[in-house]
Amino acid sequence: MPLPVLSKSLFKLGLECPLRLKHALTRPALPRKSDEDEYMQMLARGGYMFEKLVRIYHPGEDMYVPKESHAAASARTLAKIKAGDCTLHETTFTHGDLMARTDMIRVHGSFIDLIEIKSASAEADAQLETEATTLNTKAWQPYVIDLAFQVHVAGLALKAAGIDKTIRACFYLPNKNGIANAEECRGLFSITEQNSGGRPEVVYKGNAQAGDASSLIAIVDATEAVASAHPQEHSIAEATATLSGFAEGHRWPSPELGLKCKSCEFNVPGQTSGYDLCWGTQARAEHHLFTLGFLGNLERGNPGTIQRIIAQAAPRAPQITDLQDEDIVGDGKLQRTWKRQIMAVRTGRPFLSPELAKNPAGLMRCLPEHYPLYFLDYEGTRWALPSAPGCRPYGQVAFQWSCHVIDNPGASPRHVEWLDTESENPNVGFLESLRRVLGEQGTIYHWSSYEITITQELADEIRGDASKADLVSWVDRNWGTPGSKKTAVKSERTLDLLEISRGHFYDPAMKGSHSIKAVLPVIWKNPTIQKLFPKYAVDQHGKAVKNPYEALPALTLEDSAKGSPIDLTQLEAMDIVKNGTGAMRAYEHVRYGLAAGQPAERKAIRRQLMRYCELDTAAMIMIWKHWVG
CA atoms within 13 A on the CB side of 554: 9
**Residues 289, 318 contacting (CB under 8 angstroms):** yes
Neighbouring C-beta atoms of residue 465, cutoff 10 Å: 11
State the pLDDT at residue 40: 65
CA–CA separation, 351 and 625 (whole Å)? 17
Tell me how many degrees the CA angle 38-587-547 measures, rounded to the nearest 5: 60
Confidence band for 3, pLDDT divided at 50, 70 and 90: low
Q: Which residues make beta-bridge pairs with 228?
A: none
pLDDT per residue as tens digits for the range 207-244: 999 999 999 999 999 999 999 998 877 899 999 999 99
How far is Cα 351 from Cα 329, in angstroms, rounded to an integer? 21
Non-local (6+) Cβ contacts of 361 within 8 A are 367, 628
In this prediction, residue 561 carries a pLDDT of 36
Provide the pLDDT for residue 366: 96
DSSP secondary structure code for residue 481 in this structure: B
Pairing of strands 505-506, 351-352: antiparallel
Distance from chain centroid for Cα 593: 21
CB atoms within 10 A of CB 229: 22
Tell me the domain boundaries of the chain.
Answer: 37-249, 259-348, 360-497, 506-628
Question: How high does pLDDT run on average in the chain?
Answer: 90
* Position 391 pLDDT exceeds 90: yes
Please state the rounded mean pLDDT for residues 6-15. 94
Q: What is the pLDDT of residues 88-112, one digit of tens each?
A: 999 999 999 999 999 999 999 999 9
pLDDT at 557: 36
Distance of CA 94 to the CA centre of its chain: 32
Can you tell me the distance from the alpha carbon of 73 to that of 103, in angstroms, rounded to the nearest whole number?
14
User: pLDDT tens digits, residue range 311-360?
Assistant: 999 999 999 999 998 999 888 999 999 999 999 999 999 999 999 999 99
Q: For position 182, what pLDDT does the model report?
A: 96
